[in-house]
Structure 1
């Protein structure tokens, strides 16, 4: 072997070993709370502890020592079955002074339901309750079924609220229509009114910010880059990571990297003119279910994939660099970064856990 070739091979092996070591980097995990029945979302309170939603409709306070207390909450129109139930909890940007939060949930009945959002105020101290609840958004039209609600939310820098909405599974063609909320991301003010600069203010569903989505399960605003990152479930294959822009069409179901569960094609096209291409796709599907920023990187939790992935940013693109928590063997519903930059995950089961994760 020539000396230059030997040097090249040696350098390549060192580089490959470095990648593998990063991909298999160990983490320290600490279980904060357990026996949480299908937890869906969480938020850290400034006074300590966490608010956690359970898909069955319960709101829970988890103290720093892991003890749990129910938070009184009234949602008379809650619809909880299968994928339907209580979803996201998100503290308002000025929560410290207003105690205001927003909650997304499935509302209605088996025959007529969709995603609703309410705002309310959390009482000042435990035992907590949510008071002054009022509806600020109801996705229309109401439809039958209990699948694909979306329901992730994010605050933008201008204090407006993004709400991600699923296509309702059997109503996928509606994701391309601008007269409804199915398969859309909408943008509203905190009082529920529609911002004047929304891209489709003229349409019958003036809250629409972007469209062509299947079932959004991760949505965050990146203040550092002034960007909105999102991921959504594909059908069989074709889970997507996207950069969301106002007015963007993200293709579902006319362009997709996935196929139908029957094996049939949903569309012959992966990409089309006028459709925003994904930044990253997962095939086979890992079912991404949570999204967070950590030290400028993206963290993505997975249900089917039963792992936490880390992506690094370069030139408006994301590269997978590390994977964690596969040793837990658990479906991971959500990943969350607290204001003090600590990482937590929620596992998805009848015996769900809130786990603190220390990343290398």
Structure 2
């Protein structure tokens, strides 16, 4: 028994040591030249934000509302026309994204926990609809993808959305609390990142289009719960920010057809303290570009291109819900060069937005929306 305990502790210490030794977290603190100022209060769980060409900011409340900030004021009226949304644990109204040609076509894309289907519960869906900000309404709803089957489990819906410069739309769905069933099976939804044309059709060069029985929308698999997704506009590399269990949060560069290993490989352990794998790497599976133990609880992730922030420009910002700070990632090509803890005590960060006004907005659970303002 003593030998078992000794080996168990050694394994845990090895995982923690490897995580920190591989990429130490530097402490920067709140940038002396930038302050985080409250724009509006009254938002509970601001899962995502987009800024319209007309400057309004649209916010998804996880409970199932689309709220609007106009002239630095949170409007009392919500946008109407949403589909039925299952507010269930981590599920509800999730990510938002504007079509790259939004000013011409008014397409708003969003993910949500959809109860549609024969089974009880819900699963993650991607929809688009025309947004009319003048009438505060959505019309012409088009369901582009709906994961199946539904489940009453309340965890790991994902979900983030990005467009690349070719007009493909990518979105993530977590493993829905079915770790040993879904992520490694490409015939099933869950634990995947998907790629579609903007109208929901399947690209003919998706990696599993010709694989019998596969979900042909899948772009990569073996994910646990990606709740950050961002694209480098220079290289067009897609990066994810993913929840591990107890330890093993990851930053991954997303590759076509790649397997990211969950749950066969991980730097994390069960929440109970027991192990579910003794492997942190395996042939044929992608290792993370960066991992954290203990977990930081990943949230939104953005690439900073704004000239308003010389110290942040050309880098990625990612949120930590657990430790109430942001992480500044310096990435070159396919490698994370460094990470810094910035804007400490900013709050439980849920979402990040670099608006078309050049400012960075931070959605904070239970507090509202903050804006990073150069002094």
The question of whether the paired residues in 2 share the 8 Å contact of 1:28 and 1:358 is answered with yes
- Are 2:368 and 1:353 aligned? yes
Q: Distance in 1 between matches of 2:198 and 2:27?
A: 45
In structure 1, the residue matched to 2:350 is 333
Q: Distance in 2 between matches of 1:25 and 1:220?
A: 23
Q: Give how far 1:157 is off.
A: 1.6
Which stretches in structure 1 are left out of the alignment for 5+ residues?
A: 1-18
Change (3 A) 1:34 1:172: farther
Q: Choose which of 308, 313, 317 in structure 2 pairs with 1:299.
A: 317
When normalised by structure 1's length, the TM-score is 0.89
Determine which structure has greater relative contact order: mean sequence separation of CA pairs < 8 Å that are 6+ residues apart, divided by chain length. 2
Structure 1 range deviating more: 282-291 or 126-135: 126-135
In structure 1, the residue matched to 2:22 is none
SS of residue in 2 equivalent to 1:35 = coil
SS of residue in 1 equivalent to 2:261 = coil
Q: Distance in 1 between matches of 2:272 and 2:190?
A: 23
In structure 1, the residue matched to 2:267 is 257
The question of whether the paired residues in 1 share the 8 Å contact of 2:27 and 2:342 is answered with no
Note the alpha carbon deviations across 1:39-78, whole angstroms, 9 max, x for none: 1100011111200000010001111222324343334431
Change (3 A) 1:142 1:169: same
SS of residue in 2 equivalent to 1:97 = helix
Q: Give how far 1:170 is off.
A: 3.0
Note the alpha carbon deviations across 1:235-265, whole angstroms, 9 max, x for none: 0000000000100100100000100111111
Q: Give how far 1:133 is off.
A: 1.0
Q: Give how far 1:355 is off.
A: 0.6
Q: Give how far 1:323 is off.
A: 2.3
In structure 2, the residue matched to 1:116 is 125
In structure 1, the residue matched to 2:11 is none
Note the alpha carbon deviations across 1:210-231, whole angstroms, 9 max, x for none: 0000000111121201201111
In structure 2, the residue matched to 1:312 is 330
Q: Give how far 1:266 is off.
A: 1.9
Q: Distance in 1 between matches of 2:140 and 2:219?
A: 28
In structure 2, the residue matched to 1:242 is 252
When normalised by structure 2's length, the TM-score is 0.86
Q: Give how far 1:320 is off.
A: 3.7
The question of whether the paired residues in 2 share the 8 Å contact of 1:248 and 1:275 is answered with yes
Q: Distance in 2 between matches of 1:151 and 1:193?
A: 19
In structure 1, the residue matched to 2:360 is 343
Which stretches in structure 2 are left out of the alignment for 5+ residues?
A: 1-24, 305-312
The question of whether the paired residues in 2 share the 8 Å contact of 1:84 and 1:106 is answered with yes
Change (3 A) 1:99 1:266: same
- Are 2:175 and 1:167 aligned? yes
Q: Distance in 1 between matches of 2:374 and 2:283?
A: 40
Q: Choose which of 40, 47, 50 in structure 1 pairs with 2:54.
A: 47
Q: Distance in 2 between matches of 1:179 and 1:149?
A: 18
In structure 2, the residue matched to 1:72 is 79
Note the alpha carbon deviations across 1:8-47, whole angstroms, 9 max, x for none: xxxxxxxxxxx97845533312211111121110001111
The question of whether the paired residues in 2 share the 8 Å contact of 1:218 and 1:290 is answered with yes
Number of residue pairs matched by the alignment:
338
In structure 2, the residue matched to 1:227 is 237
The question of whether the paired residues in 2 share the 8 Å contact of 1:62 and 1:69 is answered with no
Q: Give how far 1:127 is off.
A: 4.1
In structure 2, the residue matched to 1:102 is 109
Q: Distance in 2 between matches of 1:187 and 1:76?
A: 22
The question of whether the paired residues in 2 share the 8 Å contact of 1:256 and 1:267 is answered with yes
CA RMSD of aligned residues (A): 1.9
Q: Distance in 1 between matches of 2:283 and 2:74?
A: 53
In structure 2, the residue matched to 1:4 is none
Q: Distance in 2 between matches of 1:21 and 1:115?
A: 36
Q: Give how far 1:158 is off.
A: 1.4
